[in-house]
Structure formats: structure tokens, C-alpha cells
Amino acid sequence: MDDATGLAEALLGLDGFRVLAVSEGPDELVIEIETTVEWTACVSCGVPAIAHERMPVAVRDLACFGRPARLVWRKRRWRCGDADCEAKTWTETSAQVSARVLLTRRAGAEACRQVGENARPVSELAEELGVCWWTVMGAVIEHGTPLVDDPARVGPVTKLGIDETSWLAANRAHPTLYATGLVDLDARIVIDMVKGNAAADLRRWLDRQDPLWLAAITTVTTDLAESYRAGLTSHLAHVTPGSGPVSCGPRRQPLSGQGPPAGPARDAVSPRPQTRPAVSHPQTLARRTRTPRRTRPRPDAARSALG
């Protein structure tokens, strides 16, 4: 690389691509690239393919030296050499570029990391990369789903927390929509999110879990909703007693302003009086005994009094 041969490709860092041209726009760096493939076989019959045409495809990449970068891939379309083949034509693909979103895989993986690990808003990443909201969200789904579904991500759980949260307020089309969060209380990580907050929703989630994984759970702390306790009964009956009738752990006390405390403290609260107390407040009593104001006599009454 002393004579600068391959220097641009080394800076690009995408295996299987060569750099054709680099230009600098007002807000971004534009890099024209193409694959290094010289020939290929038909995907259907195996006959050597013929280069049919090229078409430019814009792909967003990671920022380059502090500037947004846009790759223009001169994508090749191949044609089968056998005129009777059903494949006809097809477009080349690359493992470096996602087929689902117009981002390089490294840009999509970094966007997923920024959203998931650093909790950056999707809209902020979209503006930074110069793409729409759904492009970034598509990358988060593509790269994040395998991470969420990885069994090794959670591991054994002994203390399980279950709680609900509303994620869409009620309107004319639907009531308030809820989701159920399941948390490893020891590791303090979210295990999964389940749509809905009914017993059937929780039961369906538990049906999909490994029985050995469920057997390791010793304590479950739930929301105050009775539906959660009903959903746990058939799957966590083995949990040691001492934390509730279905071993769901002690119920959480409500926050201030969310109702009376549970248990004996609630029963000790004196009932609200149903009748007015015998002695009123001093200010109220003063208002009731106040001398009425004098009313000014009517003019006709005054004339009649003077004779």
C-alpha cells in the first residue's frame, strides 16, 4: 500500500467493494463504489451469467472523519446466459449492505447499539444519519431482535418482577392499551415485554418458556392486579410459600395519592362521617349568626312616611 494502491478501499473498510470516486457535497461525503466480482453463475441453472446493466443505489454509512457519508453503489444486474432459463435477470447483493433497509450493516448495528444501549431517540439517530425514522427503526428491529431472542442474554432467574405500564392513551377508537414488563430483580434487566395485562397474556408468555427455567424461579413480585396472580397460578405453583397465596411476593404499597394503604393500616382508618358534626367550624358558625345587612327603603315608602 506504499504506492497508495488500495488505500481508499482500506479507508472504506467494506470487503468486496472498490472505490470509484469520492466527492464532497455541502453537507456530506459521497463515495461511489462497486463490487469486485468479475463473474458469477446463474442462481437457477448455474450457467455463467452476463452483465446486463448497472443502476446507482444510495446507501447510508457511518460518518467519515466527522462528516455524514453516503455510498452510491453502482449495483450490477446480471442476466442468465441461457435464454430458456426461468431466472432471466437478478440483482447482485452483498453481506455488507442490509437488504431490508438502505443502511450498511455496520451503520445499522451502530444505530441499534445507540438506541438500545445508550437510550438515544430514534429520531435523533435518523437526523444524524440523514434518513427517515423508519429506516433507523428497521435497523433496530433487524439487529436487535436476535439479541433479545438470545437465551444466553437472560440466563437463570430466581426473582421475577411483573408490572404493567400504559403505552397508548384511550381515544374514540380504542381503550387505554397496556403492556406487561417482566424483569430480573437481581440483575435489574428487562427480560421481555408482553402486549396486554390480562391473565391470558401472561399465561401465553409463560407457556413459551423452558420448564427448567421456570423451575429456578423462587420469588415473584407482581403488580396489584389480580389478573397477574391468576396468570401465574398454573406455572409457578412450585414457588416457596411466604410471599403470597400464589407465591407472588409481597404486594407493593401504592404511591402517595393512589389509594389507601393495604392491610391493617387501611382498616384502621376511621370511616368518613355520614352526618354533619354537632359543632360547626367557628367561621361557619359566625357566618350563620351574622346580623343581616339593613336594606335601603324604597322611594315610595319614604314619601308615604313623610305624609
At which of 237, 256, 275 does a domain end? 256
Which comes out higher in pLDDT, residue 3 or 162? 162
Do 19 and 129 share a domain, yes or no? yes
Average pLDDT of the chain, as a whole number: 78
Give the tens place of pLDDT for each residue, 259-290.
Answer: 334 444 333 344 444 444 444 444 544 555 55
Does residue 245 carry a pLDDT above 70? no
In a domain, residue 134? The reply is yes
Q: What is the pLDDT of residue 301?
A: 52
Q: pLDDT by residue (tens digit) across 19-57?
A: 999 998 888 899 999 998 888 898 888 888 888 888 999
Instruction: Look at residues 124, 149, 174 and tell me which one is the last residue of a structural domain.
Output: 149
Q: Could you give the maximum distance between any two Cα atoms of the chain, in Å?
A: 131
Question: What is the pLDDT confidence band of residue 217, given thresholds at 50, 70 and 90?
Answer: very high
- What domain count does the chain have? 2
Asked if residue 267 belongs to a domain, the reply is no
- Tens digit of pLDDT for each residue in 192-214? 989 999 999 999 999 989 899 99
Domain that holds residue 181: 153-256
Arithmetic mean of pLDDT, 137-163: 89
Other C-beta atoms closer than 10 Å to the C-beta of 251 total 15
DSSP notation for 65-85: TTEEEEEEEEEEEEEES-TT-
Spatial CB neighbours of 29, under 8 Å, sequence gap ≥ 6: 22, 23, 64, 65, 67, 68, 69, 70
DSSP3 helix / strand / coil % (the chain, rounded to 5): 30, 25, 45
Cα angle at 12 between 11 and 17, to 5 degrees?
130
Which residues on neighbouring strands pair with residue 78, listed in sequence order? 51, 90
What percent of the chain is modeled with pLDDT above 70?
Answer: 76
168 and 237 both lie in a single domain: yes
pTM of the model: 0.60
* Residues 145, 215 within the same domain: no
Indicate if the pLDDT at residue 143 is higher than 90: yes
Q: Is 65 contained in some domain?
A: yes
